[in-house]
Amino acid sequence: MASKLEYIWLDGYKPTQSLRSKTKIEHNFSGKLEDCPLWNFDGSSTEQAPGGSSDCVLKPVFICKDPQRKKAYLVMCEVLNPDGTPHDSNGRAHIEDDDNDFWFGFEQEYFLWNPETNKPLGFPDNGYPVPQGPYYCSVGAKNAYGRRIVEEHLDVCLEAGLNVEGINAEVAAGQWEFQIFAKGAKEAGDQIWVARYLLERIGEEYNVAINWHCKPLGTLDWNGSGMHANFSNTLLRTAASQETYTKVLEAFRPVVKEHIEVYGADNHMRLTGKHETASINDYSYGVSDRGASIRIPLFTVQKGWSGYLEDRRPNSAADPYKVAARIIKTVKSVL
């Protein structure tokens, strides 16, 4: 019996990588990750290799069912050089979390985009809809746009076995969010990328593009899109100490530049100090403060300073692998 394995990887485009994929047919496939063979692709077509030495290697790292195809699987891959070393574009390989002590919950925002008008769904051909306010967690044809796409995406993610925690309409018209949680930074990144892939593929059916840019409406008075990173490790989950939390939070202060570098392109357009963001030039934290760089959740305080933190700076187009790797490095610096 033949199975379709959709190998998915990230290309070498800068400053924002894109998803790529191709199908491999395997006979008598077990459905297990360890039975997915290495594969290769033409890196000269993805800005990952020169034409004279174009082969790059795909190393399967995550597998789940593909609900949209018969006898099929989705296989997330790392990109390796021919000698087996991680390719420069491979952010996953730099995550230092082999024991899965770090847990991540990513809140992935995005816009459903009409490629014909080059505007979000819900925006008229000429002019704009009413100002933001009625769209957040909305219902009804006047305020919620593209729900059929969003619901289909939720269903296929759940059928694939992805750990989706929820969905909601967001603050701007045509803007939505899904949340994914995993115990282990690498798997959290794997699941975000697979969920992004599924959403892109569903968009094809409706001729609706998925706009991941953090501020697709520019300087207009509409919220941008983020990928808030909720994170914890054993230290944070069991701290029972405000002092410990302060040490971790202060460890982020001297490395603001290093974090912003991997928190997504054009983040200066989004991190303005407005629209529930802190300024890109500042670093701040506060309890239940959505205008801070890092929010200390109220529940963390109520549980006696044991729980998690939310870095609100990563944007919607950021690579979750690189975001997680940088957060882990900073938190580990205080251990």
pLDDT at 274: 87
- Are 142 and 268 contained in the same domain? yes
The overall average pLDDT reported for the chain is 97
The predicted pLDDT at position 84 comes to 96
What is the chain's length? 335
pTM above 0.85, yes or no: yes
- Please check the confidence at residue 275 and state whether its pLDDT lies above 80: no
CATH no. for residue 236?
3.30.590.10
- In percent, how much of the chain has pLDDT > 70? 100
Domain co-membership, 280 together with 326: yes
Judgement on whether residues 142 and 50 belong to the same structural domain of the protein: no
Domain presence at residue 86: yes
Residues 42 and 155 in one domain: no
Supply the CATH number for residue 50's domain: 3.10.20.70
97-112 average pLDDT score: 97
pLDDT (0 to 100) of residue 134 = 97
The reply to whether 236 and 305 lie within a common domain is yes
> What confidence category does residue 298 fall into, taking pLDDT thresholds of 50, 70 and 90?
very high
Statement to judge: residues 222 and 322 lie in one domain: yes
Domain boundary among 69, 90, 111: 90
pLDDT single digits (tens) 15-43: 999 999 999 999 999 999 999 999 999 99
pLDDT value of residue 219: 81
96 domain residue, yes or no: no
Query: Domain ends where: 90, 121, 156?
Result: 90
Pick the more confident residue, 232 or 125.
Answer: 232
pLDDT band per the 50, 70, 90 thresholds, residue 70: very high
Give pLDDT tens digits for 219-250. 888 999 999 999 999 999 999 999 999 999 99
Domain that residue 79 falls in: 2-90
